[in-house]
Amino acid sequence: MGQQQMTAKLLIVEDEQALSELLRYNFEAEGFRVTHCESGEEAEIIVAEETPDIIVLDWMLPSVSGIELCRRMRSRPETRNIPIIMLTARGEESDRIRGLNTGADDYVVKPFSVPELMARVKAILRRSAPDRVAEVLNVADIELDRSAHKVTRGPREVHLGPTEFRLLEYLMESPGRVLSRSQLLDGVWGRDAFVDERTVDVHIGRLRKALIRGKERDPIRTVRGAGYVFGERAPK
């Protein structure tokens, strides 16, 4: 803790174990949620399941190359806009250019420094997914400050437990969008957590209780059979 909080989802596709572990360690320390795989085939499955905010993609992979994966992702509407940073080996000048033609957003040449890659990843995310890297989220009269770990509604400070804080943060990253219970479970508790979907309802209940005083509007709407939406306009 004490670091700038981020919740961006990063997928690392790299078959060199030492490098992928180094990257995972450093990006997790910066608050990223990191998924890693070693092949293009695995990467396609992961991308379809959890839509990363950004992908760090090695050029040289077994079977499907990074460049081929990049091309495939750019050809599909669902994955077309996911930013990709390619890792290339030194001396691949023409390949590098080809990499950008294929649709990579940026590239770094091995060996690179981790802070350099980190800076590029953050620079892209500030454009493509600003809510994932913003320090302060605002939706209507509710403000969530990630670095201060503080929530206010109007002038009043709202005190939340760690799970409710994380839940609110996740909801505020996608205002107006229906989030299913399983999306909330994955996003807040993590994919490997042993909790069921009723747990989500319990914590939504606690969050509402903390957020609403007197006649204040409920910022969370339950969508039957679908999930929850945060921060819609006031009903007429």
19, 46, 60, 195: which one contacts Ca ion (CB under 5 A)?
Answer: 60
Using the rule CB under 5 A, give the single segment among 22-30, 59-67, 147-155, 218-226 that binds Ca ion.
59-67
44, 53, 58, 169: which one contacts Ca ion (CB under 5 A)?
Answer: 58
Closest CB to Ca ion: residue number: 60
164 binds Ca ion (CB under 5 A): no
Length of the chain: 236
- Residue 115 has phi, psi (to 5 degrees) of -60, -35
Total residues binding Ca ion (CB under 5 A): 3
109 binds Ca ion (CB under 5 A): no
Using the minimum distance from each CB to Ca ion, give the nearer residue, 99 or 187.
99
Using the rule CB under 5 A, give the single segment among 36-44, 55-63, 176-184, 214-222 that binds Ca ion.
55-63
User: Can you tell me the distance from the alpha carbon of 107 to that of 67, in angstroms, rounded to the nearest whole number?
Assistant: 12
User: Can you tell me the distance from the alpha carbon of 163 to that of 155, in angstroms, rounded to the nearest whole number?
Assistant: 23
In angstroms, give the least distance from the CB of 92 to Ca ion: 12
Residues 6+ apart with CB under 8 A from 174: 131, 230
DSSP state of 187: I
In angstroms, give the least distance from the CB of 59 to Ca ion: 7
38 binds Ca ion (CB under 5 A): no
95 binds Ca ion (CB under 5 A): no
In angstroms, give the least distance from the CB of 16 to Ca ion: 5
Residues 6+ apart with CB under 8 A from 131: 137, 172, 173, 174
186 binds Ca ion (CB under 5 A): no
User: Can you tell me the distance from the alpha carbon of 171 to that of 177, in angstroms, rounded to the nearest whole number?
Assistant: 9
In angstroms, give the least distance from the CB of 79 to Ca ion: 21
Q: x/- binding map, residues 131-150, to Ca ion, per CB under 5 A?
A: --------------------
What distance, in Å, lies between the first and last C-alpha atoms of the chain?
Answer: 42
15 binds Ca ion (CB under 5 A): yes
Show the DSSP H helices in 17-175 as ranges. Answer: 17-29, 40-50, 66-75, 93-101, 114-128, 130-133, 162-173
Residues found near Ca ion in the complex (CB under 5 A): 15, 58, 60
